[in-house]
């Protein structure tokens, strides 16, 4: 974040700008458009009104990132399920416009827990007679800090465990300015962030949201975002998704393990899942060993309780069935 508080507009100025934004016919991305020019055009619409486009960024060490990272793919979408690259972001030629990316600009889409990741893949599709692979990832421990950004200043579900993060940003908004921002400009900044974050989440066309993400992932400076967190629409805003820079994935992340699952029941409104875990994939010396679940496998139990900790209660009992 830039820390020159004098650059920031007043709350009246921000409210007036938002009224104009709400009436603006924002550009819609078309295949073949120059991406840099497209992003620049959207950026300039905001700058022309406010002269500034603030971002709230955090520098984190891997040990301070206490969230899970999970991806899901249908089993029938794999060519070689034992190849780690197939569980990562897609090849350039397969990348279409998404919430956080433009065509041929891949992003590693993931979620903070396996069931949110599963919900993102299910969407409106029929999950009967399908199997899915959940991959569990981690950031490689190091002393290198990375840039974290969130788009959580919107209407989160009361069950969302990251409400604390959204509230923390509000409470600490003046810290980078050493308290010199002033109440009015503090209010102005929060008003702007709430507008931007809501537009990011509500953009069904993805042109606007992809522009916001692209300017952060591909900026020409050394404070580009590495991990971007935003609410999961597919879980009615109860969970969060993580969009991660491919370069960060390649240099600082690795897969821990896999699960092959079937979905028996899913209620989108309540977020309740009933799944069967068919196999557990353990990685030993870069080789995936697929195991049928064993009631005596303490490694599996420990991994399961770590990965699914947000979805099981303390009285959870294991139920193993022969298949």
pLDDT given for residue 175 in this prediction: 81
* 3-class DSSP assignment, residue 44: helix
What pLDDT does residue 144 have?
92
| Long-range residue pairs from 201-206, CB within 8 A, at least 24 positions apart, any chain | 201/151, 201/154, 201/230, 201/231, 201/233, 201/237, 203/99, 205/28, 205/29, 206/29, 206/97, 206/98, 206/99
pLDDT confidence of residue 1:
41
Q: Is residue 272 pLDDT above 90, yes or no?
A: no
Place of tokens 């298949």: 323
Q: Which residue has the higher pLDDT, 322 or 229?
A: 229
- For residue range 134-149, list pLDDT tens digits in order: 999 999 999 999 999 9
Q: What is the pLDDT of residues 22-45, one digit of tens each?
A: 999 999 999 999 999 999 999 999
What is the SS3 string spanning 1-17?
Answer: CCCCHHHCCCHHHHHHH
Output the pTM of the full model: 0.93
pLDDT at 4: 56
For residues 296-305, give the mean pLDDT.
90
CA 283 to CA 285: how far, in whole Å? 7
Instruction: Reply yes or no on whether the pLDDT at 216 is more than 60.
Output: yes
Give per-residue pLDDT as tens, 170-181.
Answer: 998 888 777 778
Mean pLDDT of 239-251: 97
- CA 97 to CA 93: how far, in whole Å? 12
So where are the chain's domains?
5-60+147-248, 63-90+107-142+251-307
**Does pLDDT of 259 surpass 60?**
yes
Residue 307 DSSP SS3: helix
- The band of 265, judged by pLDDT with boundaries at 50, 70 and 90, is confident
Segment 109-123, tens digit of pLDDT: 999 999 999 999 997
Query: What's the chain's average pLDDT?
Result: 91
> What pLDDT is recorded for position 2?
46
Per-residue confidence band for 3, with pLDDT thresholds at 50, 70 and 90: very low
C-alpha to C-alpha distance for 126 and 203, rounded to whole angstroms? 24
Residue 32: which region, alpha, beta or left (left: phi > 0; alpha: psi -120 to 50)? Answer: left
The DSSP code for 99 is T
State the pLDDT at residue 317.
63
pLDDT of residue 318: 60
Q: What is the mean pLDDT of residues 303-308?
A: 92
Q: Tell me, what's the pLDDT at 54?
A: 84
């Amino acid at each position: 974040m830039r820390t020159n508080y004098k650059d920031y507009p007043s709350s009246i100025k921000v409210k007036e700008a938002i009224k104009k934004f709400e009436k603006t016919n924002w550009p819609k991305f078309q295949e073949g458009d120059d991406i840099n020019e497209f992003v620049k055009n959207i950026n300039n619409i905001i700058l022309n009104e406010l002269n500034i486009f603030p971002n709230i960024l955090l520098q984190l060490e891997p040990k301070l990132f206490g969230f899970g990272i999970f991806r899901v793919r249908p089993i029938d979408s794999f060519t070689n399920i034992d190849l780690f690259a197939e569980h990562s972001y897609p090849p350039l030629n397969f990348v279409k416009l998404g919430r956080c990316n433009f065509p041929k600009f891949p992003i590693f889409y993931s979620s903070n827990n396996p069931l949110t990741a599963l919900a993102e893949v299910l969407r409106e599709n029929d999950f009967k007679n399908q199997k899915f692979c959940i991959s569990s990832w981690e950031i490689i421990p190091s002393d290198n800090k990375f840039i974290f950004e969130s788009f959580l200043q919107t209407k989160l579900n009361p069950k969302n465990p990251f409400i604390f993060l959204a509230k923390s940003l509000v409470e600490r908004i003046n810290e980078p300015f050493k308290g010199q921002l002033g109440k009015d400009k503090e209010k102005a900044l929060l008003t702007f962030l709430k507008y931007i974050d809501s537009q990011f989440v509500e953009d069904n066309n993805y042109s606007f949201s992809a522009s916001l993400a692209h300017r952060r992932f591909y900026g020409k400076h050394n404070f580009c975002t590495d991990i971007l967190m935003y609410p999961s629409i597919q879980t009615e805003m109860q969970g969060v998704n993580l969009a991660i820079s491919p370069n960060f994935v390649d240099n600082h992340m690795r897969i821990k393990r896999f699960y092959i699952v079937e979905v028996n029941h899913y209620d989108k409104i309540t977020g309740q899942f009933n799944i069967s875990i068919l196999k557990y994939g353990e990685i030993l010396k870069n080789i995936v060993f697929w195991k049928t679940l064993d009631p005596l496998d303490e490694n599996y139990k420990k991994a399961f309780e770590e990965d699914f900790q947000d979805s099981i209660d303390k009285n959870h009992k294991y139920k193993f069935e022969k298949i």
